[in-house]
Amino acid sequence: MTDTPAPRHIPDRLDEPLSSAIFSWEALLVVIAIAIFIVNSFASPYFLDPWSLSDLTFNFTEKGLIALAMALLIISGEIDLSVAAIVALASTMMGMAVQVGAGTPVLVAIGIAVGLGCGAFNGLLVTRLGLPSIVVTIGTMSLFRGIAFIILGDQAYKGYPESFAFFGQGYVWWVFSFELALFLVAAVIYWFVLHRTSFGRRVFAIGNNPVACQFSGVRVDRIKFILFCLTGLMSGIASVLITSRLGSTRPSIAQGYELEAITMVVLGGVSILGGAGSILGVVLAAFIMGLVTFGLGLLNVPGIVMSIFIGLLLIIVIALPIVWRRLREGRFA
Amino acid sequence: MKSFLKYRELWLLAGIVVLIGLISTRFPGFADPANLRQVFNDTSILMILALGQMVVILTRSIDLSMASNLCFTGMVVAMLNAAHPAIPIPVLIVIALLIGLVLGAINGLLVWRLNIPSIVVTLGTLTIYRGATFVVSGGAWVNADQMSPDFINFQRAALLGLPVLSWIAIIVISLFFLVMTRTQIGRSIYAIGVNPTASVYAGIDVGRTKFIVFCISGMIGGLAGYLWISRYVIASVEVANGYELNIIAACVIGGISIAGGIGSVGGAVLGALFLGIISNALPVINISPFWQMAISGSAIILAVVLNARGERRQGRIILRKAEAA
């Protein structure tokens, strides 16, 4: 969407010299995260309590899980705006299953299967019919959440079994919640897949030049289809977590999560044009967004005002390196 | 290409006629001229917004911040009216246009000067503008009883058989039609969408034109802000939350290609009307309004599938893919 397509580099080199690691995007994010952490701990005496810090993680784990898969999708040059709607639909289906007496394992299976199914539907529309993903997923976003609204209307599903509450409310060890553990495990898996496997290299390659990939024997459509399925799958998992945490389902559940997940991905240094990015950046961005929201929450700043900070953070973090480079080159404006 | 575009709009128009026919079999009064006028009036704001979004999409950009801009401007105008009821409505409209222009110019500058992708910029300003609404209002609502009677009744006044709101929509549609088909800037907008590189060689300032389209969509957002608040007579932080995607949906149904360069004023208007008819018809034919979302979602998917076929016939998709790479 820029006027002159800038020459693309593949930044994900296997042997990075130390200097470039210090001035990398991830380093910038770490500095920002530490700064916010210090400001928060001065601003509120409650911040440095281990349980507070543990509560903090609930702010981003669900969206972060979606953001991991979304990062791969955006690196490959596609996007999925329907993730929050998938969460709503999966949650609605789990709620329906509860009404006929399904147990916890069945509920989890349903949540994940619905997510996977919705992702596959998006993937089929994009790869089989060759449609632009941004429009397709705006459509399926209305469709998926619309189905949730048709089923639920202004009602809510409740009565989830006790054992189901573990996923969103349980703790693995001391202050480490199941959600956080799952997020960290998923982050490691996604890091490995993206940065240490040939599949990951293909994802970068597709984002940089899909046509060349096609001619090099990469099954572009199949990889994109898998990425859409993964994004749906992660949305299904996020749906299990959020439904378990809230203990009820409304059709408006997870409203606006798609934009927050995309903000995490972009803040994490993934190029919205595709072809560049790292999982470490996305994980750091997830922590930063959690820190900002939680720190401001301790100071009684309303959620809507926090969103200003998130929005400003997004634009400033993207703009700063550009302004900095231009100033150094002395050709600003 | 022009005849093909006309063909597509006729096609959409035929779809709308069939839709109205189908609804009439369930509710005979729907096709009444009086009712259709009502539908047009109800859809006016969406049509105006879709036109503002259209010029942005034509240049291969996107403006996700329009609904937040609408919310912010509407709130400021409503608070102004509540505090100073003496300010005449035309002045308030000018103020709304100016506020919208400033918000749009911020988007435009970031896209133009810093070359940040528009989806990132407007994703940021989407949350910033709505947050700013909370800051200026302190979270309070402006209710109907705080607004002056003029503020509420201006758009409802009948003029030659139509409410002023409909006339505003007609004027905006006409202006857009003139600009897009009869002026240099209109042709530049299309040119950039079809081929930005060639546009540069043709002497078009791509960055500046993008700045201008964001100014246009900003002004439209501001205008719609006043119209929305005075129509639904409540200003709050929640106004038009998530509406940015409805606006884009209207454009997509209207045949405007998200890849830029393809689309017309008629298409945007018809796309908005299509959504407006569905939302008006569901209650009268006894379908729960909860169906609306799924129906418009299906309509979007169907529209994209059909549009993609049309575009492929021109062999443009391949070109664009090679270019993007």
A148-196 tens-digit pLDDT: 999 998 889 988 998 998 898 888 888 889 999 999 999 999 999 999 9
What is the domain range of residue A140?
A: 53-319
Mean pLDDT of B290-310: 83
The pLDDT, as a whole number, for residue B74 is 96
Q: Is the pLDDT of residue A9 over 70?
A: no
- Angle between the A133-152 and B243-253 helix axes, to the nearest 10 degrees? 120
Q: Do A259 and B127 touch (CB under 8 A)?
A: yes
Residue A94 lies in a domain: yes
What is the domain range of residue B125?
A: 2-324
Mean pLDDT of A298-322: 82
Phi-psi domain of A59 (left: phi exceeds 0; alpha: psi -120 through 50; beta: other): alpha
Q: What is the DSSP string of B82-109?
A: HH-TTS-HHHHHHHHHHHHHHHHHHHHH
Residue A331 lies in a domain: no
- Provide the number of structural domains found in chain B: 1
What is the distance between the alpha carbons of residues B237 and B76, in angstroms, rounded to a whole number? Answer: 11
pLDDT in tens, B144-194: 889 998 899 888 888 888 999 999 999 999 999 999 999 999 999 999 999
- Provide the number of structural domains found in chain A: 1
Query: Is B57 an 8 Å CB contact of chain A?
Result: no
Residue A127 lies in a domain: yes
The pLDDT, as a whole number, for residue B30 is 86
Higher pLDDT, A123 or B244: A123
pLDDT in tens, B84-135: 999 999 999 999 999 999 999 999 999 999 888 898 899 899 989 999 999 9
Measured between beta carbons, the chain B residues lying within 8 angstroms of A150 are: 288, 290-291, 294
Mean pLDDT across chain B: 88
Handedness of CA A79, A81, A87, A93 (dihedral sign): negative
Residue A163 lies in a domain: yes
The pLDDT, as a whole number, for residue B44 is 95
- In percent, the amount of chain A with pLDDT more than 70 equals 92
Mean pLDDT of A67-82: 95
Band (A21; pLDDT cuts 50, 70, 90): low
Band (A333; pLDDT cuts 50, 70, 90): very low
Measured between beta carbons, the chain B residues lying within 8 angstroms of A322 are: 114-116
What global pTM score does this model have? 0.85
The pLDDT, as a whole number, for residue A44 is 79
CB-nearest to B258 from A130, A135, A272 is A135
Band (A7; pLDDT cuts 50, 70, 90): low
Q: What is the CATH number of the domain that holds A157?
A: 1.10.3470.10
Interface confidence: ipTM more than 0.85: no
Residue A257 lies in a domain: yes
Q: Is the pLDDT of residue A8 over 80?
A: no
B162 bridge partner residues: B159
What is the distance between the alpha carbons of residues A36 and A30, in angstroms, rounded to a whole number? Answer: 10
Handedness of CA B243, B244, B249, B255 (dihedral sign): positive
Q: Is the pLDDT of residue A51 over 90?
A: no
Residue A47 lies in a domain: no
CB-nearest to B131 from A140, A251, A307 is A307
